Structure 1
């Protein structure tokens, strides 16, 4: 089976709104629902789990009924950090899925995940054991020397931008979260599943990405999302 774990455990302070950003309405539909619909419609997704900020579980349930998200099987309470939230979602699946099932982790505030990107992440995971959506880095990257100057750059050809969706076989993913929290490795700051895996010594494999797959962190991101929704709706927004 292919199980999507949608992470919606954040409070979204940087958005500056009174409610978590994943529940902000855009054209009479919450951001999280746009994300869930992408997975609901994808033929290779068998089940969905939402890791939700505490106190909003009933809201997620109600939205699932309202917008016919029939693949939603589990709602799990998030943790105090992104990594704790993902861990909670993974541990909840321990008696529900098999070792070889593919677990697709995705940010609930990335509502424009493309079906082809999702397909490629699943295919690459089945081929290599894991897959992370990625894009080439098109800007020049310089290393700070003394905060106001630099003498060193990193060739952009050696870099990839990695985001979600990312996919892992359940057995390895479950092992990794147990190991990381026991050893205190890869669970602090901005760590995510992909960086944690590397810190645990795992090799990651690249899958396709998309520039449209933006993360809604600021008001500007939200305006960009609204612009994408109004861009040629008939052709790409099903």
Structure 2
């Protein structure tokens, strides 16, 4: 089955307190985006990438591709005003039936094992959404300001990549945009399809605040050290 990863890298750096978007910040002399792209390309030799970038950062995106990757495996789409529009623009470049991964560029610490697990589930069921258990206590705030405790065992923390057969995802993105479309699963559900949950990864964090960049760097450095030690053994 064809495999296409739509990597959404159209975000700004506002919550990081930096004019440079987080996907272009550096970890060990390589941009965050490098690690995300490299993991997907390493997962399968036939993986193709559609990188969605804000128009003003097309040059930086192309520089990263030129420096580190084979150009024939990566296409570029221009992002839109919303995540929904950005993903839709990326999906418009898919020409054949495929298993489609949609992933946040700022989640640079995912593993190939998670990619494989999501792929296998999507092949079997048509969808795969990685989730994690909620370890914190949860409270629901009502419109009148009152609040109540929620059973955290019934709550899942949603990650990416969110993975679908193209015959499900592409037509789903032809429906009208709604404000509650915060991810691809919500779009597919509005289209009338159920989604399949799979086990995510605790280390698959999304870089949002400065401390997240430090955590991601520590994770990647630890993995590199383990791989180096394994190679020397």
TM-score (norm 1): 0.88
Gaps of 5+ in 1: none
1:8 aligned residue: 9
Work out whether 1:160 is the aligned partner of 2:151: no
Shift of the 44–208 alpha-carbon distance from structure 1 to 2, 3 Å rule, reads farther
| Contact 2:206-2:212 at 8 Å conserved across structures | yes
Cα distance in 1 for residues equivalent to 2:66 and 2:21: 20
Which stretch shifts more, 84-93 or 41-50?
A: 41-50
Shift of the 89–232 alpha-carbon distance from structure 1 to 2, 3 Å rule, reads closer
Q: CA RMSD in A?
A: 2.0
Deviation at residue 45 of structure 1 after TM alignment: 4.9
Work out whether 1:207 is the aligned partner of 2:198: yes
2:92 aligned residue: 91
Match of 2:172 among 158, 172, 176: 176
Match of 1:141 among 135, 138, 143: 138
Match of 1:107 among 82, 104, 118: 104
| Contact 1:2-1:44 at 8 Å conserved across structures | no
SS of the residue corresponding to residue 167 of structure 2 reads helix
1:21 aligned residue: 22
Cα distance in 2 for residues equivalent to 1:90 and 1:222: 29
Shift of the 71–167 alpha-carbon distance from structure 1 to 2, 3 Å rule, reads farther
SS of the residue corresponding to residue 22 of structure 1 reads helix
Cα distance in 2 for residues equivalent to 1:32 and 1:61: 11
Cα distance in 1 for residues equivalent to 2:31 and 2:54: 15
| Contact 1:64-1:72 at 8 Å conserved across structures | no
Shift of the 154–41 alpha-carbon distance from structure 1 to 2, 3 Å rule, reads same
Shift of the 192–74 alpha-carbon distance from structure 1 to 2, 3 Å rule, reads same
| Contact 2:130-2:197 at 8 Å conserved across structures | yes
Deviation at residue 230 of structure 1 after TM alignment: 2.9
Q: Report how many aligned residue pairs link the two structures.
A: 227
SS of the residue corresponding to residue 83 of structure 1 reads helix
Cα distance in 1 for residues equivalent to 2:150 and 2:45: 38
Gaps of 5+ in 2: none
| Contact 1:40-1:70 at 8 Å conserved across structures | no
Shift of the 208–233 alpha-carbon distance from structure 1 to 2, 3 Å rule, reads same
